[in-house]
Amino acid sequence: MPRLPSPAPRQTGDLPTHLFAIACGVAVANLYYVQPLLAVIARDFDLTAATASLLLFCSQIGYAAGILLFVPLGDVRDRRRLVGSMMGIAAAALLLCALAPSFDLLLISIFLVGLTTVSGQILIAFTADLSAEDSRGRALGTVVSGLLTGILAARAASGLIADALGWRAVFVIATALNLLLAVLIWRGAPRSSGRLGPGYRALLRSVPALVRAQPSLRRVMAFGFISMAAFNLFWTATTLLLSSPHYHFTPGEIGALSALGLVGTTVARRAGRLHDSGRSTLASTAAWAVMLTGWLTCIPAGSSLGWLIAAVVVIDVGTQGQRILNQTRALTLSPSARSRANTAYMSGNFLGAATGSLAAMVLWRAGGWTAVAAAGSATCLLALGASLRTDRA
């Protein structure tokens, strides 16, 4: 069946930007509550913290699968209804995590959380459609900053809640938050009329076709993969480091350190304005330089909390700026297929996140913090070189 033309984008004034930003933050937070909890979950199930980090891997793989399976529907379905439904299903998966009687069942439940936690990405594509062209970067910067704030706030909140009420309470509270935002989106988001289009299988097949047809999309996908791999490598290894005998941090203390990354989110929010002014590629290269600086700061952080704090702030500034710029570029490449472009970009992103989590476990066992810092520095150096070549192309 032929697809109808996309409706003309509305002005940003019609867009409930802050509601979308909050909903994005609540949705993506589901993937990160578990990060400061690895040590306490490991103790509950009589595991090592490195084995417990499989929870991070399963959640990220589930998220990548959910993006592939569900986000493309945003191009042909009412996004308001789609977001409300997915947040409700994610709430059920979070409740399963809270009730899981064994580690194996917790792994399955956390995979289901990842699979259904895709509302933020649907809302980001929705934002791009609703925004005027000359302010799209600013609107996306605000909404993606909400998503990034959710990542950092999740770590801080889950640690504090776990210290006070236990780790299962974290997932109970997350269940309630997802149900609340499902209702708020249903009531406060504009209606998005479903468009006639290909069947579901054809819709999914059109995603790799879009990637093949768009060299620029492949480029931002590659940079997004590397950026998220480095980001998750850092945070997974940081959790293992802080829960080790050298630091012996509680989940609440680990979460408090994670909150320092909010500085990075505040700074990176302006990255969308750089896209609107035509300086996206240059700003992206600068963000890689900032990330490399942060990773070099990591080298002495294995035995110095001061250096670790500095690394948290600098790496988050670079990563958040990189992510906003990359995602904004991906969403402007194909206006009639924004959800599918976002599907391609974010699938690569969170395969990178899963790779980073798995690499952290392997590198930690092989050489501890030194191996992690060396790998992260080398990865960002290579990415910076590739970005500089792109600038000159």
Asked if residue 6 is part of any domain, the answer here is no
Q: Which H or E run includes 226?
A: helix 215-242
- Roughly what angle, to the nearest 10 degrees, separates helices 17-29 and 167-188? 150
Domain CATH number, residue 110: 1.20.1250.20
How does DSSP assign 124-167, residue by residue? HHHHHHHS-GGGHHHHHHHHHHHHHHHHHHHHHHHHHHHHHH-H
pLDDT of residue 353: 83
Asked if residue 186 is part of any domain, the answer here is yes
> 291: burial class by Cβ within 10 Å (0-12, 13-18, 19+)?
buried
Give the pair of three-digit tokens for residue 45: 């199930």
Residue 187 makes CB contacts below 8 A (sequence gap 6+) with none
Provide the domain count of the chain.
Answer: 1
Find how far residue 170's CA is from the centre of its chain.
Answer: 19
Return the residue matching tokens 């006639």: 196
Distance CA 132, CA 11 (A): 5
Asked if residue 4 is part of any domain, the answer here is no
DSSP 33: T
pLDDT of residue 49: 78
pLDDT of residue 12: 41
Give which of 228, 215, 219, 240 is closest to 379, Cα–Cα: 228
Asked if residue 3 is part of any domain, the answer here is no
Asked if residue 182 is part of any domain, the answer here is yes
Would you give per-residue pLDDT tens digits along the chain (393 residues)? 334 334 444 444 456 888 999 999 999 999 989 988 988 999 999 998 778 889 988 998 898 899 889 988 888 788 888 999 999 999 999 999 999 999 999 999 999 999 999 998 899 888 887 877 777 777 887 887 788 788 888 888 898 899 899 999 999 999 999 999 999 998 888 877 655 556 788 888 888 999 999 998 999 999 999 999 999 999 889 988 998 888 888 878 887 887 777 776 666 666 666 666 767 778 889 999 999 999 999 999 888 899 999 999 899 889 888 888 888 888 887 777 888 888 888 888 878 888 998 899 899 999 999 999 999 999 999 999 998 887 665
Distance CA 284, CA 223 (A): 10
Asked if residue 335 is part of any domain, the answer here is yes
Other Cβ atoms less than 10 A from the Cβ of 299: the count is 16
Whole domain around residue 256: which residue ranges?
A: 12-392
pTM: 0.75
Residue 178 makes CB contacts below 8 A (sequence gap 6+) with 26, 27, 30, 87, 88, 90, 91, 94
Asked if residue 7 is part of any domain, the answer here is no
Give the Å distances, CA to CA, from 86 to 28, 69, 156, 178, 391: 12, 12, 25, 9, 39
Asked if residue 270 is part of any domain, the answer here is yes
Distance CA 108, CA 290 (A): 37
